[in-house]
Structure 1
């Protein structure tokens, strides 16, 4: 097999007409890969994505061919998938105010050109979920930049832009319903879409702690810092306990931060799927 691409988390190999997508234990924050891996992370991301792909297969098709027809050394952390012509838009849905969306709101009372009501605070539930796309920059090429819907229309065409928005918001709506029944709020999520023979399909991963902000529903309190069940613990540690300037190289992680991060990935997997992580 030929290594085609090594990303922040996944390595992509060509195997004939198919791709083998291998999720590593690498972790990144602020678009920088940290030097310390998180044990089991790649397997958790892969197994959780497969679970979600199955749950939401009636919303939009996905790129998965097989989760078992992969080389033995990558069992559990790899999938065989179709080659897609990826859309050059990061498709993001937000249902709560957090992260960069909170900063944009505080500055502009809007996110990606979508106006929001006054008086919202960190953790506020939005009146309705919104589509807040961004550019898709190559690894090392800089940060993704927010896009308005009009910019997506200009880049992709009106029909394509409307379909990207529809799929993204429906994935978020359905995923949020499923997660809420299991005690998890999905603050926001990012999905990747591509085309195969003219049909839009989901690629990459789906509704994982790498691509979403998960909060413990029973502890949700607007105006307070939420208990994140994702890699926000790393961002908090880097901000509060280091003087890192968010450029390469990233800092080594202390063992307690590695363990806390892994524990959150395991917790969200178990709460969502109902299965124990062995």
Structure 2
């Protein structure tokens, strides 16, 4: 499914994101349909990735369930492989990015000579993919369109985006979720390198929302051979969406004005799908079962689910 075209009873809103189609029901519930669209550099690529939506939705379901003792989450039910139904929260306008290793955007910043990211000082003497002494939080603004922007803790509080008290609580939740995520990943022979969390609130109660610990929001390395590859200066073996970004960069695309998205061949699309399924099986320890469901059947299941929650 590359996009959904539902109209639900009691529907009061609809938002089409880069990957998700989000339906608001009676201003109380959300039905989040995770499509097979894929984005990189904040651009939706022209071809969908088979079963990607199912992979993301089902990993998020498992990971949110495994962390609900740390912070409540928005999920109430998962009526179809691609859809989650849950609480509509007032979202905080920042994304809490947490990094355990010097990788990706952090490495590109470091390599350019800068020793600060989002107001967080970066230690000297690190090389790509090294562990930070402790995980760091490097927030971004949450943009509905265009690029998310790096922002510091101090700027968030000064601009009134989040109150100081609430932001400090978000930091605590972020680090606790990351610690749990790293533990779960380690049990499966993986390193959770970096990820992002989004939060919302209802009547003063904070909830973690959207997805967590999926290949769209996170980066994983294989633990086996990590130290040897670091010592030899070799690239780390990873399961994440970064290989899509790297492929785009190799083909002259970084989301900048005037650049064209390179042609995505069938072979490339299928390889991306296989990588997503591989991560599902690796991080969850479960066999991935491909499910094909008609839009009509999916809609009926979602409606029945929402009715059961009322």
TM-score by length of 1: 0.92
**In angstroms, what is the RMSD of aligned CA positions?**
1.5
Q: Which runs of 5+ in 1 are unaligned?
A: 69-74
What per-residue deviation string (whole Å, max 9, x for no partner) do you get for residues 144-196 of structure 1? Answer: 11111111222312111111111111111111011011111111001110001
Does structure 2 conserve the Cα–Cα contact (< 8 Å) formed by 1:153 and 1:160?
no
Q: Give the Cα–Cα distance (whole angstroms) in 1 for the partners of residues 139 and 225 of structure 2.
A: 28
Does structure 1 conserve the Cα–Cα contact (< 8 Å) formed by 2:41 and 2:254?
no
Does structure 2 conserve the Cα–Cα contact (< 8 Å) formed by 1:230 and 1:261?
no
Structure 1 ranges of 4+ moved more than 3 A: 247-252
Q: 1:96-135 maps to which residues of 2 (within 5 A)?
A: 96-106=101-111, 107-135=113-141
Q: Give the Cα–Cα distance (whole angstroms) in 2 for the partners of residues 148 and 255 of structure 1.
A: 41
TM-score by length of 2: 0.83
Question: Alignment partner of 2:141: what SS?
Answer: coil
Match of 2:308 in 1: none
Question: Alignment partner of 2:240: what SS?
Answer: coil
Q: 1:1-278 maps to which residues of 2 (within 5 A)?
A: 1=8, 2=11, 4-16=14-26, 17-68=28-79, 75-106=80-111, 107-139=113-145, 142-154=146-158, 155=160, 156-220=162-226, 221-222=229-230, 223-240=233-250, 242-244=251-253, 246-247=255-256, 250-278=261-289
Indicate how the Cα distance of structure 1 residues 272 and 147 shifts in structure 2: closer, same or farther if over 3 A, else same.
same
Does structure 2 conserve the Cα–Cα contact (< 8 Å) formed by 1:90 and 1:192?
yes
Does structure 2 conserve the Cα–Cα contact (< 8 Å) formed by 1:33 and 1:250?
no
Does structure 2 conserve the Cα–Cα contact (< 8 Å) formed by 1:49 and 1:205?
yes
Q: Give the Cα–Cα distance (whole angstroms) in 2 for the partners of residues 236 and 14 of structure 1.
A: 35
Does structure 2 conserve the Cα–Cα contact (< 8 Å) formed by 1:36 and 1:252?
no
What per-residue deviation string (whole Å, max 9, x for no partner) do you get for residues 48-102 of structure 1? Answer: 000001110111000011112xxxxxx2100111101000001111000111111
Q: Give the Cα–Cα distance (whole angstroms) in 2 for the partners of residues 94 and 224 of structure 1.
A: 20
Q: Which runs of 5+ in 2 are unaligned?
A: 1-7, 290-310
Q: Give the Cα–Cα distance (whole angstroms) in 1 for the partners of residues 223 and 270 of structure 2.
A: 22
Q: Which has the larger radius of gyration?
A: 2
Q: Count how many residue pairs are aligned between Structure 1 and Structure 2.
A: 269
Question: Alignment partner of 2:150: what SS?
Answer: coil
Does structure 2 conserve the Cα–Cα contact (< 8 Å) formed by 1:5 and 1:13?
yes
Instruction: Please report how far the alpha carbon of residue 104 of structure 1 lies from its aligned counterpart in structure 2 after TM superposition.
Output: 2.1
What per-residue deviation string (whole Å, max 9, x for no partner) do you get for residues 252-271 of structure 1? Answer: 41122212212221111111
What per-residue deviation string (whole Å, max 9, x for no partner) do you get for residues 229-250 of structure 1? Answer: 111121111111x233524763
